Amino acid sequence: AQKITQTQPGMFVQEKEAVTLDCTYDTSDQSYGLFWYKQPSSGEMIFLIYQGSYDEQNATEGRYSLNFQKARKSANLVISASQLGDSAMYFCAMTPTNTGNQFYFGTGTSLTVIP
Amino acid sequence: DAGVIQSPRHEVTEMGQEVTLRCKPISGHDYLFWYRQTMMRGLELLIYFNNNVPIDDSGMPEDRFSAKMPNASFSTLKIQPSEPRDSAVYFCASRDRTSPDTDTQYFGPGTRLTVL
């Protein structure tokens, strides 16, 4: 069974500081994709970053980077130089690449950026 | 490119009424997903389509829920009759497995449904 764990229900970070949001996953699949989505208070789900299980380099998208440690089954999101607009819920998700279309979501982490 | 479009953005209805949620996926995407989000259960996959064909509806909570995709650019999720416990945010998402970025699902803005 697939499982995504986000152990931090809430996080605070000072504006302009970096923050790491934790995500661990459990899967027996060899090929899978890992994702982070942002959900601001307005409610939409915004795709941030993707990491394939066979990608050797950590994915980066602007101020977002994904710290992928395959052996530890972790896929932490790092946000550099936090901005007030980064305050939102963040969801980690995983999908097996070849065996179906199910997305498995974590329970989310609420990030608050303090001015 | 326009993203996934959902309507209405907000719906308030009374118990027993029929509710229809609408979704237009991103043009060219061949997969469409319907999700429900609640505080208690998080994000749940209800059903998904591939090339307009329903593939897995095991997440549909009960027979009151039905979904259709008559063509590649339109899908509906219908609840009849609606109940207060159906109150949630309903998301539509689409995905293009023919592109290099095959796994990413792109979500619509959601429909916030309140059943009184």
Asked if A101 and B91 come within 8 Å (Cβ–Cβ), the reply is no
Q: Residue B103 pLDDT more than 90?
A: no
Q: Shortest Cα distance from B28 to chain A (angstroms)?
A: 17
Q: What is the pLDDT of residues B44-77, one digit of tens each?
A: 999 999 999 999 999 998 899 999 999 999 999 9
Write down the mean pLDDT value for chain A. Answer: 93
pLDDT at site B96: 80
Q: What is the pLDDT of residues B4-15, one digit of tens each?
A: 999 999 999 999
As a whole number, mean pLDDT of residues B19-24 equals 98
* Nearest neighbour of B104 by CB, restricted to A42, A44, A50: A50
Task: Give the nearest chain A residue to B50 (CA atoms).
Answer: A101
Smallest CA-to-CA distance from A91 within A17, A26, A44, A35 is with A35
Q: Residue B102 pLDDT more than 90?
A: no
Q: What is the pLDDT of residues A84-95, one digit of tens each?
A: 999 999 999 998
pLDDT at site A99: 61
Helix (H, G, I), strand (E, B) or coil at A94: strand
pLDDT at site B72: 94
Q: Residue B100 pLDDT more than 60?
A: no
pLDDT at site A29: 87
Assign B32 a pLDDT band (cuts: 50, 70, 90).
very high
Q: Does A107 touch chain B (CB under 8 A)?
A: yes
Write down the mean pLDDT value for chain B. Answer: 93
Asked if B42 and A105 come within 8 Å (Cβ–Cβ), the reply is yes
In chain A, which residues have pLDDT < 50? Answer: none
Q: Residue B93 pLDDT more than 90?
A: yes
Q: Does A50 touch chain B (CB under 8 A)?
A: yes
* Nearest neighbour of B31 by CB, restricted to A45, A47, A101: A101
Task: Give the nearest chain A residue to B95 (CA atoms).
Answer: A101
Tokens representing B6 are: 């959902």
